[in-house]
Structure 1
Amino acid sequence: MKLSRALAALLMATVAFPAVAQEISDGKVKIGILNDQSGVYADFGGKWSVEAAKMAAEDFGGKVKDMPIEIVSADHQNKADIASNIARQWYDTEQVDAIMELTTSSVALAVQGISQEKKKIDIVTGAATTDLTGKACSPYGFHWAYDTHALAVGTGGALVQQGGDTWFFLTADYAFGYSLEEQTSKYVISKGGKVLGSVRHPLATTDFSSFLLQAQSSGAKVVGLANAGLDTANAIKQAAEFGIVAGGQRMAALLFTLAEVHGLGLEAAQGLTLTEGFYWDRDDDSRAWAKKFFDRTGRMPNMIQAGTYSAVLQYLKAIDKAGTDETEAVAKNLHEMPVEDVFARGGKVGPNGRMIHDMYLMEVKKPSESTQPWDYYKVLATIPGDEAYIKPAEAGCPLVK
């Protein structure tokens, strides 16, 4: 009798153990931050996004379901093949559960495809193309901080309303640039404006002279910079040398963040209109969180870094609610849970993976208007999320019926 009881207890323990062990795979939750840490977008997200991810893990308590949280990172050098190799290695041999940030649209599209193949979650905060939640959407892919449509509605819409009804684009020659030019062009035309032309430049261009001369000779009222990071900063600096703004044309920085304004300086950046999904000086909560970020990095966060914090935090919340890091269960919670944190107020995730939240139309202050370090923006308008983003049913995502 005693032997049979002992065998029964052993059998129950053997059956029960795998169920417990499978709640959190590999005994930890491991998140990879994959982005540009040495190139033109190094300040845009870079190592500062890694710090934001670490802050999220720490603020969550360092553990989820009593299992440790580990943040790893790598530099993809803005090359899709390098990013793909890192993603496969992380998934196949290094037990990474999810990959996030993914600055550069070509990289994000490649890694989202691999993540879908491997049934792993990716949350994009650094890339902009709407294809991520459109024709290239994934049941495990999420797009968090902003996208090209939101930028077009914000900056493009504002300038057309102010009389900037003819445009010429300087466009980065890859998926992000094409998408940003296309979305902004559509919005400008829908508001009664015209696009007079465009020219494409390679990533990490240092000499914009020939491109700027074409923009100048077009006679367009607005020169739309469908690029980002150092490319945008260099174009703005060289445009001043060519007297483009002095000659009456306006420069529209379609993707420009606090990090790039800081790098350029208020003297050169003053008067620029731009759109971001976060501003550190928005309210008491954002100021308190930004101070913590500043204390560890020496800089204030932009929407990419704050968005990465939000994405990591929401992923951990989804695991906690599901009781497991199994992809299907976590993805279901990410789709269903509201997003309420220092980055997003009343955020919601559509069936195509697009996180819908308010965006902010900004104008860069004059040096005389800035009262403290990093006091760079005047908030001109809040753009409700449902206006900023493409409706999921219209995004072209095959997952949305």
Structure 2
Amino acid sequence: MEQKKPGAVSRRAVLQLAAVTGVAQLAPPMLIQARGEQAVKLGLDNPLTGTYAATGKNELTGCQLAVEQINAKGGILGRQVELLIEDSTSGDAGTAVQKARKLIDRDKVNFLLGNVNSALSLAMAEVSFEKGVLHVVPGGHTDAITGKTCHWNVFRVCNTTRMLTNAIAKTLMDQYGKKMYFLTSDYAFGHTLQDGYDANLKQYGGTKLGEDLIPLGTTDFSSYLIKAQATNPDIIVFLMNGDDLLNALKQAVQFGLEKRIHLAGANTELEVLEGLPPVARIGDWVAEWYHVQPNVPHVDEFVAAIKKKSGRVPTARTWFGYVGAWTCALAANKAKSLEAVKMAKALQGMELPPEVGLMPDTPFYREGQNQLIGSLFVGHAQAKGEAGPDDLFHVDTVVHGKDVAGTVEESGCKMTWPKA
């Protein structure tokens, strides 16, 4: 046994003396340092398996880069940031809610991030609202998140589904015709996309020939495609995402539908375009962020940083995750607090700095709705563009988000704040 040196004071004795006398100076320096360096925790509850695994993993990569940059710049309120990760699955709301409660109740996260799936985002938002935790939804699009079921503590990075349809519907009708048939994912995301297109058709004199609600995770679309083709539409509109959209487009091209009918949708993802054979990289879509943006400051640096980290170019999903994590830091550092209400107030109307916003229009969180408003990129898929093998989308028009977002009143958001 090691003998104590003469005159040495044991650690236990120091602690006992501090407790008895209340003299803080006698607490060991290592304990003071440990308290000061307690990490600020961000909890990401997002799909890493299932239909939305690819998009979820890219949002994770964006979060990770943001956390690295935040820590390199001094962290949040001078404390380092820790990212805790849970797999929500792609479609199980029960699992997403369970993981959200674990992150909040057991892991004591200061912020909640997620989800790719709109229905899971809505379920998680009820948990974060109940617990009073600031919640950033990077990539769940359904309108209600910042609409009819909006909460003071819930902010969204990606566009609403109505913004997506408003950005492209008129262009499609003007260029390809007004008779449309819809293949729509049967959950919150697809439902509100369909509502948006229905309103656009009414506004611009279009005709809805039919609609099929298709379960998430469907792999065989043949019966739906045959039914759509039989109505002789000008456009078949695919209101789905992830592996569902990838499989549907593959089969549409196998049937040769693109030779007779225009194929289009709302948003598309680089993850989907990469998974398609070149002949199926077709149709008109909305990209919510794109890595080829000449003359937009800091985009090239962001692309280089992501490529160094992951070996691939960033997608819109990467940017969603990046902005989501940075939003947490910006809110806390502006509020000079980790109190959720103070941070939510600090985000009202906040503009993202150029190195985070990475868009022609400066993105900002609209006051009273908590919806990020930036730029949308309307264009068409391509087998390969001038910028290299990753350039699978051609931007035809940059749409200003504020022009397609409607008003806060039209969104249905009636936000109430906790009483002081």
TM-score (norm 2): 0.85
- TM-aligned CA deviation for residue 366 of structure 1: 4.1
SS of residue in 1 equivalent to 2:388: coil
Q: Which residue number in structure 1 is paired with residue 63 of structure 2?
A: 53
TM-score, structure 1 normalization: 0.89
Residue from 133, 146, 157 that aligns with 1:144:
157
1:224 maps to amino acid: V
Stretches (4+) displaced over 6 A: 10-14
The higher radius of gyration belongs to 2
After superposition, the CA RMSD in angstroms is: 2.2
Determine which of 293, 297, 321 is the counterpart of 1:282: 293
Q: How many residues align?
A: 380
Aligned equivalent of 2:327: 314
Which residue is 2:13 aligned to?
A: none
* Residue 358 (structure 2) pairs with residue 343 (structure 1): yes
Structure 2 residue identity aligned to 1:347: P
The 2-side partners of 1:277 and 1:382 are apart by 10
Q: Structure 1 residue aligned with 2:269, among 246, 249, 257?
A: 257
Q: Is the 8 A contact 1:53 1:309 kept in 2?
A: yes
Cα shift at 1:155: 2.7
Task: Name 1:355's counterpart in structure 2.
Answer: 372
Q: Quick one: distance in 1 between partners of 2:290 and 2:205?
A: 30
1:37 to 38, 48, 66: 48
Q: CA deviation at 1:280?
A: 0.6
Cα distance in 1 between the residues matched to 2:223 and 2:278:
26
Question: Given residue 43 of structure 1, which amino acid in structure 2 is its aligned partner?
Answer: A
**Equivalents in 1 of 2:207, 2:256: separation in Å?**
23
Q: Separation in 1 of the partners of 2:396 and 2:202?
A: 22
C-alpha distance in structure 2 between counterparts of 1:263 and 1:184, whole Å: 26
Q: Post-superposition shift, 1:164?
A: 2.6
Match of 2:8 in 1: none
1:179-218 matched pairs, under 5 angstroms: 179-218=192-231
Question: What are the residue-to-residue correspondences of 1:2-401 with 2, within 5 Å?
Answer: 27-44=38-55, 46-62=56-72, 63-77=75-89, 78-246=91-259, 248-270=260-282, 272-283=283-294, 285-340=298-353, 341-344=356-359, 345-350=361-366, 351-367=368-384, 369-399=385-415
Q: Is the 8 A contact 2:37 2:80 kept in 1?
A: no
| Distance (whole Å) between structure 2 residues aligned to residue 11 and residue 398 of structure 1 | 50
CA distance in 2, matches of 1:135, 1:188: 22
Distance in 1 (alpha carbons) for counterparts of 2:160 and 2:134: 19
Structure 2: tracts of 5 or more residues without a match: 1-20, 26-31
Q: What's the offset of the Cα at 1:28?
A: 2.3
Residue identity opposite 1:383 in structure 2:
V
Distance 2:103 2:256 in 1: 48
What is the distance in 1 between the residues matched to 2:183 and 2:321? 28
SS state of the match for residue 172, structure 2? helix
Distance between the aligned counterparts of 2:204 and 2:48, measured in 1?
A: 38
Q: Is the 8 A contact 2:118 2:141 kept in 1?
A: yes
- Cα distance change of structure 1 residues 267 and 400 upon mapping to structure 2, 3 Å threshold: farther
Contact (CA 8 Å) 1:370, 1:376: kept in 2 or not?
no
Q: Structure 1, residues 286-319: CA drift from partner, whole Å, max 9, x if none?
A: 1221121112112222212202201211220111
Q: How far off is 1:379 after superposition?
A: 1.1
Deviations 1:123-148 (A, max 9, x none): 11221101101111000011112221
Q: Distance in 1 between matches of 2:57 and 2:276?
A: 19
- Residues in 2 aligned to 1:295 and 1:310: alpha-carbon distance in whole angstroms: 19
Task: Give the direction of change, closer, same or farther, for the CA distance of 1:59–1:169 in structure 2 (3 Å limit).
Answer: same
Classify 1:263/1:84 alpha carbon distance in 2 versus 1 (closer, same or farther; 3 Å).
Answer: same
| Matches of 1:301 and 1:100, distance apart in 2 | 19
Q: Secondary structure at the match of 1:245?
A: helix
Cα separation, 2, equivalents of 1:212 and 1:347:
38
SS at match of 1:27: coil
Q: How has the CA–CA distance of structure 1 residues 279 and 30 changed in structure 2, closer, same or farther, with 3 Å as cutoff?
A: same
Partner deviation per Cα, 1:243-298 (whole Å, 9 max, x = no partner): 2112x21111323111111111433113x211122111113521221121112112
369-378 vs 219-228, greater mean Cα deviation: 369-378
CA distance in 2, matches of 1:322, 1:135: 27
Residue 13 of structure 1 deviates from its aligned partner by: 7.8
- Stretch deviating more after TM superposition (330-339 or 225-234): 330-339
